[in-house]
Amino acid sequence: MKNYIILILFLAGITPVFACKCVSKSLAQSYLDADVVALVMVENTYGDRDSNVQQGGTLYTADIKFEKIYKGTGFKVLNVFGASNFINSGSCGILIRKGEKYLILLSKNRNGEYYASSCSAMPQISDYKVIKEYESIFNVIEKNKSKIYFGKFAEYEDLSNKYDIQKKKAISDFTKLDKTLNGKLGIYKVQIRGEGEIYAIQAVQKIGIKEKKIQELMKKNFRVYEGFSTQGEYFILLKL
- Per residue in 82-106, pLDDT (tens digit) is 988 887 655 788 999 999 999 999 9
**Multiple choice CATH, 27-133, 3.40.50.720, 2.40.50.120, 3.90.550.10, 3.40.50.1980:** 2.40.50.120
| C-beta of residue 192 within 8 angstroms of C-beta of residue 234 | yes
Asked whether the predicted pLDDT for residue 4 surpasses 50, the reply is no
Q: CATH 2.40.50.120 residue ranges in the chain?
A: 27-133
The pair phi, psi for residue 205, each rounded to 5°, is: -135, 115
Q: So what's the pLDDT on residue 19?
A: 58
Distances (CA, A) of 107 to 35, 39, 148, 219: 5, 15, 20, 34
pLDDT confidence tier of residue 194, bands split at 50, 70 and 90: very high
List Cβ neighbours of 148 (8 Å cut-off, separation of 6 or more). Answer: 32, 141, 187, 204, 235
How do residues 13-31 score in pLDDT, each as one tens digit?
444 344 577 888 999 999 9
For residue range 111-170, what is the model confidence (pLDDT) as tens digits? 999 999 999 999 999 888 899 999 999 999 999 999 998 899 999 999 998 888 887 888
Q: What pLDDT is recorded for position 18?
A: 43
Q: 187: which strand partners?
A: 205, 237
Distance of alpha carbon 97 from its chain centroid, rounded?
21
Give the span between the Cα atoms of 138 and 160, in whole angstroms: 26
Residue 169 to residue 125: CA distance in whole angstroms: 20
Between the alpha carbon of residue 214 and those of residues 115, 181, 182, the distances in Å are: 39, 10, 13
CA pair distance 143, 125, nearest whole angstrom: 24
Give dist(CA 34, CA 21) in Å, integer: 20
% pLDDT > 90, the chain:
64
